[in-house]
Amino acid sequence: MYINFKSCKKKIDMGKLGYHNVSQKRTVWREISEQYSGKFSIFQTKSNVLERFNLVIPYNEINIEITESDTRPLKLSFEAELHKKFEFSISQEDFTDKITKFFGKKELQIKDKEFNDLFFLKSNNDFLLIEFLDNPELIAQIKELNLYSMNCEFNKKTSFYHFLSVFSYNIKKKETLDEIIQLHFIIIQRLKSLMLIK
């Protein structure tokens, strides 16, 4: 485990700054980092006010990056080289999506009705996305952990596919962060089982 404090010039009294739960949160992230042999960093502004947490966890030759701050949602991302062109988005339905559905626009759906009611799916390869989501454990975890969005896009700069998941809350419990990490292990395993990752 590696802990890096960026631009930290003096000891901070987090209580005076209003960050009463930072110590507990730091402990959670540090324990997760140790559990998965990760690299944990805390990035700070020049004024030494906490900016964000960053954690990188290695898994099956892929680095999963996790970031969060008091002002930004929890995000997990990783990059992988794929055998096929495969881009997709899974997002919580908004008002526009519901109106679109109401007027009869065809929507990509899977076998799970509850999932279809919660999320709007788009892909350049509908068949492949449906096959990717044909996993009860994956679907159950996405619903339970209140995923806000998940995207896979080709990164022209790196020639890899960039996966990004966003969750609509800050993590307070180690168990919750652990479950979200396990979800991404399932995602990577799923990509490998479909022979998508090179």
User: For 4-31, what is each residue's pLDDT tens digit?
Assistant: 544 443 333 333 334 445 788 889 999 9
Is the pLDDT at 103 greater than 90? The verdict is: no
The mean of the pLDDT values for the chain is 85
**Residues 40, 30: contact at Cβ < 8 Å?**
yes
CA nearest to 55, candidates 41, 74, 70: 41
Is the pLDDT at 149 greater than 50? The verdict is: yes
- The predicted model gives 92-96 an average pLDDT of 69
Is the pLDDT at 2 greater than 60? The verdict is: no
Is the pLDDT at 62 greater than 90? The verdict is: yes
**C-alpha torsion 99→100→105→109, nearest 10:** -90
What is the per-residue pLDDT across 117-144, written as a single tens digit (0 to 9) for each?
A: 999 999 999 999 999 999 999 999 999 9
**C-alpha torsion 154→177→65→93, nearest 10:** 20
Sign of the C-alpha dihedral computed for residues 172, 174, 176 and 181 taken in this order: positive
What is the per-residue pLDDT across 161-186, written as a single tens digit (0 to 9) for each?
A: 999 999 976 677 899 999 999 999 99
* Distance, CA of 190 to CA of 126 (rounded, Å): 16
Q: Which two tokens stand for residue 184?
A: 């991404």
pTM of the prediction? 0.82
Is the pLDDT at 45 greater than 80? The verdict is: no
Least confident of 5-14, 40-49, 112-121, 185-194: 5-14
* Distance, CA of 146 to CA of 119 (rounded, Å): 11
Domain ranges of the chain: 2-193
Better-predicted residue by pLDDT, 171 or 109: 109
* Distance, CA of 176 to CA of 25 (rounded, Å): 12
Q: How far apart are the first and last CA of the chain?
A: 28
